[in-house]
Structure 1
Amino acid sequence: MSTALPAGSTIGIIGGGQLGRMLAMAAARLGYRTVVLEPQGDCPAAQVANRQIIAAYDDAYGLAELSRESDVVTYEFENVPVASAKALAADVPVFPPAKALEVSQDRVAEKAFLNGIGISTADYRPVDNDRQLTDALKEFSGAGILKTRRMGYDGKGQRAFDKIGGDDVSGTFASMGAVPLILEAFVAFEREISVIAARGRDGSLAAYDPAENIHRAGILHTSTVPAKLKAATAQAARDAAFAILEALDYVGVIGVEFFAAKDGRLLVNEIAPRVHNSGHWTEAACGISQFEQHIRAIAGLPLGTTARHSNCVMENLIGNDVARAEALLAEPDVVLHLYGKAEARAGRKMGHFTRLKRRR
């Protein structure tokens, strides 16, 4: 389509979690309807969307129904089956494009893509058996992070090796599920940062200020803006995000995570072809959130300003942390967002809050 979606059009969202929920809320503010494809009934997104199609992400009938109901389709997580995205794209625009899924779903393919466009990453080796793991660890002086190439998130599917001289790795490949793996070299970084950037259907680009991230047990704990970075380093992070968007012919919002070294070097850790947890602060500290920015991009609307009116710290509420909600509501300059999940479980994201510090 060459023109913006008119108000009243329907946006299809694959995935019914909290990111789908916040996308549906942003779409409603801009006058759009939403239909969510999600196998779990009463998911967080269904509580605010116009309709839910209860079906698996690769269900042919569910996908056909989503296609019929939607004027454009997007997704809230990167493990959407590529075949599903391609099948939908034959009948309705799908943003971000299937190529972004293909690149991001495999850690080896992702790093090869990034290196191929001149963006640095940690050194890595593909691992398909214990012998290859032994050889790779020798190359990395016995240290590195072993990860599944696919489906890992929030620290899942990972094992660290830090013994100089190497550990006995017998049985490691089997213990990791006998699936394709990647060994990544350790990176001596000063901080972890991320950039939320967007590309419109007209090729326009925009990026929010980098956030400085702290993880606990592999799960994002806080994102602080502004990050403690030199201006040149922050600009280099934005430029890298823009290069990724251009190379993928991307439409929508992307999250790019970096390791920042003391000497100012940046290494991309991973890309997420969707709105991102480390961008939740934009909901409270900016006039245009990452969620509205994504809807604007895929609907063919002008991208919004990425300026922030406040410095801030966003913090995730994990598991029983949600019990803090009432006390947080009593604090000034705190913006709370709960995800409508009925059961608080260990490691489950139940909501987040952003504490604002007004800029003078």
Structure 2
Amino acid sequence: MTATGTFPILPGATLGVLGGGQLGRMFVHAAQALGYATAVLDPDPASPAGLVSTHHLRAAYGDGAALERLAQLCAAVTTEFENVPAEALERLARTRPVAPAGASVAVAQDRAAEKAHFVRCGAPVAPHAVIDGDAALAAVDAERLLPGILKTARLGYDGKGQARVGSRAELAAAWERLGRVPCVLEKRLPLAAECSVLVARGRDGAMVHLPVQRNLHRDGILALTEVFEGNVPAAQTQRALQAAQAIARQLDYVGVLCVEFFLLEGGELVVNEMAPRPHNSGHWSQDASDVSQFELQVRCMAGLPLVPPRQLSPAAMLNLLGDLWFDGADADAAPRSPAWDRVLALPGCHLHLYGKAEPKRGRKMGHLNVTGATPEAVRATVRQAAALLGIDAF
């Protein structure tokens, strides 16, 4: 049985979030700006969200007493990352409204279940096969699926838990290296670009969305997002929006959902994966939209009206990794602060750092949103900022 609660939940109430990372931190800021108190459940005493929240419950996500306390404090609960135990969300949902629901998060946690959901929705997907044993491995149609990418069905993110394979021998070896856990093999397709769509769906089924975002990844991690009219061809934009909306609708999803797509050479579009939460590629909305993805998250869980966001200017988001705090490849180098003063002297630059105490190579430390009058002006500023920070040119 799921608790439905009384809606809308108005400012002055307390909203909860499972997870204390940067997405939780930005959710907390958005909730507090609207007048809500917040409670974060995260075991890290220095978690970015916990540091700024009204309440911080320092406990494991499956801690029964902590979950009970979170339910006592909060009028509704959300999550900031998809690998939170779905069971914890389901337990909370017995007494409090939870968005997204544990069942939706569980689909996103398993690539095989996720692919099956996309197929049921009629969303375009790459040719693929589930490998969950020796028989499935032997049955792989090499002509149809190789060369491909082998991905663990669970707990893979930012390029982790993946291997490129070009032959049956490479496939078998990669499956061994990944621990013979259930995997999904996807055919490698000729990519022209990547994009993502963020939709927000309310409890009444109402849906709004942010503009389609064009993304660039480096080493499996999002490096740059650009958002302006024409950044993705109109026909592909429409197909991406329709697919994302169908994916959310057929899950009976409540909350903010990101769906990532591959744009193929020749104009086709296929779904890559979904994230049941706000997403790195939507961070630009904090400074270039009248409603950010995090405010949409608050509105969804509180049952507030969903108004279509309006983009205020062309925008880009530059990811800031811990590598920027170090000179060169010296593993023993002491961290030093990047030249934020020089970056902030550039017009339209908006710096967001996540409050993480220790920079580490590959660790997401913040992002830089860039706004401007034209796409060309935004790109020029992004190039200047990247040069100042030591980021390879785009």
TM-score clears 0.5: yes
What residue identity is the alignment partner of 1:337?
Answer: H
Structure 2: unaligned runs, 5 residues or longer: 326-337, 376-394
Task: Quote the Cα distance in structure 1 between the aligned partners of 2:130 and 2:171.
Answer: 15
The corresponding residue for 2:176 is 174
Q: Secondary structure at the match of 1:337?
A: strand
> Does 1:224 pair with 2:226?
yes
- Superposition pairs of residues 226-245 of structure 1, within 5 angstroms: 226=228, 228-245=231-248
Relative to structure 1, the CA distance from residue 353 to residue 14 in structure 2 (aligned partners, 3 Å threshold; closer, same or farther) is same
Report how far residue 131 of structure 1 moved. 6.1
The corresponding residue for 2:299 is 296
Residue pair 1:195, 1:211 contacting (<8 A) in 2 also: yes
The corresponding residue for 2:83 is 79
Relative to structure 1, the CA distance from residue 170 to residue 255 in structure 2 (aligned partners, 3 Å threshold; closer, same or farther) is closer
User: Which deviates the most, 44-53 or 263-272?
Assistant: 263-272
The corresponding residue for 1:199 is 201
The corresponding residue for 1:7 is 11
- Superposition pairs of residues 319-334 of structure 1, within 5 angstroms: 319-321=322-324, 323-334=338-349
Report how far residue 182 of structure 1 moved. 1.2
Relative to structure 1, the CA distance from residue 146 to residue 329 in structure 2 (aligned partners, 3 Å threshold; closer, same or farther) is same
Relative to structure 1, the CA distance from residue 137 to residue 344 in structure 2 (aligned partners, 3 Å threshold; closer, same or farther) is farther
Listed one character per residue, the Cα deviations across residues 203-222 of structure 1 (whole Å, up to 9, x for unaligned) are 21111111110001100000
Task: Quote the Cα distance in structure 2 between the aligned partners of 1:312 and 1:325.
Answer: 19
Listed one character per residue, the Cα deviations across residues 291-345 of structure 1 (whole Å, up to 9, x for unaligned) are 0111011111111332111111101001132524332222111011000001111
Q: Secondary structure at the match of 1:190?
A: strand
- Superposition pairs of residues 20-169 of structure 1, within 5 angstroms: 20-129=24-133, 132-133=136-137, 135-136=139-140, 138-140=142-144, 142-162=146-166, 165-169=167-171
Q: Secondary structure at the match of 1:4?
A: coil
> Does 1:343 pair with 2:358?
yes
Listed one character per residue, the Cα deviations across residues 231-254 of structure 1 (whole Å, up to 9, x for unaligned) are 222122111111111111111111
Task: Quote the Cα distance in structure 2 between the aligned partners of 1:250 and 1:142.
Answer: 34
Task: Quote the Cα distance in structure 2 between the aligned partners of 1:61 and 1:96.
Answer: 22
Report how far residue 262 of structure 1 moved. 3.7
Relative to structure 1, the CA distance from residue 230 to residue 141 in structure 2 (aligned partners, 3 Å threshold; closer, same or farther) is closer
Relative to structure 1, the CA distance from residue 190 to residue 172 in structure 2 (aligned partners, 3 Å threshold; closer, same or farther) is closer
Query: Runs (4+) of structure 1 moved beyond 4 Å?
Result: 168-171
Give the TM-score taking structure 2 as reference length: 0.87
Relative to structure 1, the CA distance from residue 260 to residue 172 in structure 2 (aligned partners, 3 Å threshold; closer, same or farther) is closer
What residue identity is the alignment partner of 1:312?
Answer: A
Report how far residue 178 of structure 1 moved. 2.9
Give the TM-score taking structure 1 as reference length: 0.95
Residue pair 2:165, 2:174 contacting (<8 A) in 1 also: no
Percent same amino acid at aligned positions? 43
Residue pair 1:130, 1:173 contacting (<8 A) in 2 also: no
Q: Secondary structure at the match of 1:209?
A: coil
Report how far residue 141 of structure 1 moved. 5.8
User: Which deviates the most, 1-10 or 203-212?
Assistant: 1-10
User: Which deviates the most, 178-187 or 121-130?
Assistant: 121-130
Q: Secondary structure at the match of 2:69?
A: helix
Residue pair 1:121, 1:269 contacting (<8 A) in 2 also: yes
> Does 1:190 pair with 2:185?
no
User: Which deviates the most, 125-134 or 107-116?
Assistant: 125-134
Report how far residue 3 of structure 1 moved. 2.5
Number of residues of Structure 1 aligned to a counterpart in Structure 2? 358
